Amino acid sequence: MSQSLFTYTLRLADDLLILSQRLGEWCGHGPVLEEDIALTNRALDHLGEARNLLTYAGQVEGKGRSEDDLAYLRMERQFTNVKLVEQPNGDYAHTIVRSFLFDAYHLPLMQALTKSNDEQLAAIAGKSVKEATYHLRHSSEWLIRFGDGTEESHQRAQAALDDLWTCTGELFETDAVLEEMTKAGIAPDIATIKEAWSRTVDQVLSEATLKRPADAFMMTGGRKGLHSEYMGFILAEMQHVTRAYPGVEW
């Protein structure tokens, strides 16, 4: 039970940590100053939630690992985030679509998790719901602007959507860990989350005049630590200082 809870919590944390890391790359390079602020703000929100989850995962595991041990001293095979969040920033359409596809999943997940039998996860989710709500609003509004803006922005948004769509299957995969957590009333029913996600996607894409890609091939592997080649570079950048000076305080 505690092993599954550890794995489940770590998955939630890793998605947010890696997405935050990607969004942090934008800092100082956004398309307009307001978006620089929005992106760093999102990166900070995701990081805050990831830190709460990592700390909790460390407690559940009971081996004395801190948030930093879990973030900085695991290798890519031990990271359990979905591949969606490790995808490169690309152009702003890719960044927005990546966040939109994640936000549309993250908000209903957090809302449902507030009713989790695990009090700690419920409390962390409770704190996240407000942030997740405006994250989804932010990414939806931009996606609609792109879809229904200029011809170029429409094409870029559609291309990003087509590119990233194959990464969405992973968000709703089930396995023994998730089944155990759902049965224990800790994790919500993932099928319900998928329905909510799908409704949001349809609604926003319709307003954006964008086409929902067909569900064909879907990527898999992230939850088992089988990542894209991007992942090693993300971690190399994130971890190198910490690993170069082991055991010190910062």
Partner 1 sequence: MTDVKNLEDLFQAKIDAEQKIEPKDWMPDAYRKNLVRQISQHAHSEVVGMLPEGNWITRAPSLKRKAILLAKVQDEAGHGLYLYSAVETMGTSREQTIDDLLSGKAKYSSIFNYPTLTWADIGAIGWLVDGAAIMNQVMLCRTSYGPYARAMVRICKEESFHQRQGYEIMGVLAKGSPEQKEMAQDALNRWWWPSLMMFGPTDANSPHSAQSMKWKIKRQSNDELRQIFIDRTVQQAEVIGLTIPDPDLKWNEATQHFDWGTIDWTEFNNVVAGNGPCNKERLAARNKAHNDGAWVRQAAVAYAAKKAGKKQAA
Q: Cβ distance 207 to 144 under 8 Å? A: yes
CA distances for 108 relative to 101, 122, 145, 152, 176, angstroms: 12, 13, 23, 31, 22
Judge whether 142 and 204 are in contact, CB under 8 Å. no
List 59, 61, 114, 149, residue binding partner 1 (CB under 8 A)? 149
Stretch that binds partner 1, among 172-180, 183-191, 194-202, 239-247 (CB under 8 A): 239-247
Applying CB under 8 A, which of residues 30, 126, 225, 232 lies at the interface with partner 1?
30
How far lies 123's CA from each of 7, 52, 118, in Å? 18, 10, 9
What x/- string results for residues 184 through 223 when contact with partner 1 is judged by CB under 8 A?
----------------------------------------
Q: Which of 1, 2, 27, 215 binds partner 1 (CB under 8 A)?
A: 27
Q: Residue 137, interface with partner 1 (CB under 8 A)? A: no
Give me the amino acid identity at 208: A
Dist. CA 6–CA 168, nearest whole Å: 23
| Shortest reach from residue 245's CB to partner 1, in Å | 6
How many chain residues interact with partner 1 (CB under 8 A)?
A: 47
Q: Helix or strand or coil: residue 236?
A: helix
Q: How many CB atoms lie within 10 A of CB 114?
A: 16
Number of separate helices (H) and strands (E) present in the chain: 10, 0
28 interacts with partner 1 by CB under 8 A: yes
Q: Is 225 in the site for partner 1 (CB under 8 A)?
A: no
91 binds partner 1 (CB under 8 A): yes
Between the CA of residue 45 and those of 40, 71, 197, 205, what are the distances in Å? 9, 16, 21, 25
Is 170 a residue that touches partner 1 (CB under 8 A)?
A: no
Q: Does 88 bind partner 1 (CB under 8 A)?
A: no
CB 171 within 8 A of CB 231: no
Binding mask 38-57 for partner 1 (x = CB under 8 A): --xx-xx--xx-xx--x---
**CB 206 → partner 1: shortest distance, Å?**
15
- Interacting residues toward partner 1 by CB under 8 A: 21, 24-25, 27-37, 40-41, 43-44, 47-48, 50-51, 54, 67-68, 71-72, 91-92, 144-146, 148-150, 152-153, 156, 237-238, 240-242, 245, 248-250
